[in-house]
Amino acid sequence: MQNNQLSEPSEKQPLQQLLSRPDIWQLASQQRQLRTGISTGYRGLDALLSNRGWPRGATSELLLDKGGIGEISLILPTLAEMTRQNRMVVLIAPPHIPYAPALVQAGVRLEKLLILHPRGQRDQLWAAEQSLQSGACGALVSWQGKENPADKDLRRLQIAAREGDCLHFHFRPGSCASAPSPASLRLQLRSDGEQLAIQLLKQLNGRSGQRVHLPRSPNLTRRDQPLH
């Protein structure tokens, strides 16, 4: 009976009414349900992540040996989307001055961007924790200074991100890759010609070891004026 109904639909039946029938399986809807993370803006990277995007309310560590290889371009689509959703994006202790015209061109609303330069590591960790758990931020980006934060401090930031349902991107030296971390996601970044080479070091509930190359834009900071 159901097959007859499917093979002879009424021409006047609205499409939405037809699609709402429980005996119609929609592949597209099933695929959408699989995404529980926030899209990175790069299909190739989304496909490798277990949540099809950045993990929500969690820390994502981005490890690299040298800044200025286009690492900001990796998170820029997400930061821009957060500001378009009227959510605050906080940068804590960036090593260079963000290049405002490039950020605007990428879609970032500068009035939703807050840059903090706390003095010393303890103040940086305190500012990051307070911002993450405030519930007022859509995303927070922090850079590790000269001191390697203790494991308990990294766990506090991970917990604060979960409490505030905030994306936390934490840039760390590539040498930290061999040390354990409570972060939900860890990516190793390298420059490879005109592209940014990414390797998945760790992700909760997903595979690791995969690699992907993405386009990069190294002109997002004023490197002639390092801040630290």
Tell me what pLDDT residue 218 has.
55
* Max Cα–Cα distance, the chain, nearest Å: 73
Residue 70 is predicted with a pLDDT of 87
Instruction: Say what the pLDDT of residue 18 is.
Output: 60
Structure tokens at 174: 């590539």
Query: For residue 122, what pLDDT is reported?
Result: 92
Say what the pTM is: 0.81
Predicted local confidence at residue 14, as pLDDT: 65
Question: What pLDDT is attached to residue 147?
Answer: 83
**Per-residue model confidence (pLDDT) at position 5:** 47
The parts of the chain modelled with pLDDT lower than 70 are: 1-35, 217-228
Separation CA 197–CA 187 (nearest Å)? 10
For residues 40 and 77, is the Cβ–Cβ distance under 8 A? yes
Q: Would you state the pLDDT for residue 134?
A: 95
The pLDDT value given to residue 161: 97
CA-based angle 206:49:212, to the nearest 5? 115
Q: Residue 15 has what pLDDT?
A: 63
